[in-house]
Amino acid sequence: MITRRSLIVGATLAPALPLLSRTARAAPAAALKTSKLVYLTPLKSNGEESRCKAEIWFAYVQGDVFVVTPPDAWRAQAVHLGLAKARLWVGEFGIWAAADDAFRQAPELLASAALETDADVQARILAVLGDKYATDGWSTWGRRFRNGLADGSRVMIRYRIVP
Q: What separation in angstroms does the CA of 32 have from each of 85, 94, 98, 111?
A: 18, 16, 22, 13
Q: For position 144, what pLDDT does the model report? A: 96
Q: For position 20, what pLDDT does the model report? A: 35
Pair type for strands 108-115 and 85-90: antiparallel
- Return d(Cα 93, Cα 72) in angstroms, integer: 25
Nearest residue to 61 (alpha-carbon basis) of 108, 107, 130 = 130
pLDDT (tens digit, 9 = 90+) per residue, 49-61? 877 777 889 999 9
- Check if the beta carbon of residue 114 is closer than 8 Å to that of residue 84: yes
Asked whether residue 5 carries a pLDDT value surpassing 70, the answer given is no
pLDDT (tens digit, 9 = 90+) per residue, 96-121? 666 677 677 778 889 999 999 999 99
Q: Average model confidence (pLDDT) for the chain?
A: 81
Instruction: Band the pLDDT of 69: cuts 50, 70, 90.
Output: very high
Task: Report the pLDDT averaged over residues 119-134.
Answer: 97
56 or 151, which is more confident: 151
- For the entire predicted model, the pTM comes to 0.78
Asked whether residue 48 carries a pLDDT value surpassing 90, the answer given is no
Helix (H) or strand (E) holding 131: helix 119-132
pLDDT (tens digit, 9 = 90+) per residue, 25-46? 445 777 888 889 888 888 988 8
pLDDT (tens digit, 9 = 90+) per residue, 138-149? 999 999 999 999
